[in-house]
Each structure stands twice: as structure tokens, then as C-alpha cells.
Amino acid sequence: ALPISHVDILINNAAIMRCPNWTTEDGFEMQFGVNHLGHFMLTNLLLEKMKNSEHSRIINVSSLAHIAGDIDLDDLNWKTKKYDTKAAYCQSKLANVLFTKELARRLQGTGVTANSLHPGVAVTEIGRAH
């Protein structure tokens, strides 16, 4: 395999929605883990390769649901309050927007841009819980 020297575009689109109170292997609330922490980690792992491109873009797919989000830094994993699947989803999507906003600020002048977006509404199986 050839070593990859640069990455031109990264689209973080993985998501789950309104699942039961599941946790990741690392103990994070599942929606926060999949919808935000996974994107955060992948972006940071690829960031230097993105800076090696002449111009590169990071696109984080969020949701209009971020408007209803509230990030409880004291209880990100819903250990002390009753689990609310909708609120947990909104929290994860607000985290996407806040991460992207700060990332864009930090990347000014590097040739890397970061944007978040609401993809619109479509009939998918994102809300299925298996």
C-alpha cells in the first residue's frame, strides 16, 4: 500500500438517532460517542495530512436538532439524570456544531476549512435501533 501524504476532503457523516440508553465500549453515551466523539477523533487523526493539501475541507454533518441541544458537561453520559433519547441526540448534534466552529477558528490561515451542515430531511433508517 502507498503511504498517504495528504487528504483533500473529510466528510463526517456517521450517526445514530434516538437509540436506547446504550454506551460505547469506552463508556460514553452511544449517540454522543458515534455522532460526535468518532468525528472528533477521526478529524484530529487526519488533521496533519489535511494541512499537507493545498486546500482541504472538513464537513461535519450535524442536524437542525442542535438548536434544542444542551451540553451538560457534568453529566455527558446521562449517569445522574433520567435518559432522554431525543435530548441525547440534540446534545450530540450541538457538539458537532460547536466543535466545527472552534475547529474553523483554529484552522484559519492553514488552507483547511471546516463547516457543519443540516442535511435536510429524508426518509432513512437512522432511527432504527438494532
Q: Which H or E element spans position 124?
A: none
Q: Which H or E run includes 112?
A: strand 112-117
The yes-or-no answer on residue 83 being catalytic is: no
Give the list of residues 6+ apart from residue 54 with CB closer than 8 angstroms, or none. 111
Contact of 86 with 18, CB cutoff 8 Å? yes
Phi, psi values for residue 102, rounded to 5° = -70, -40
Catalytic, out of 30, 89, 90, 94: 89
Residues annotated catalytic, as ranges: 89
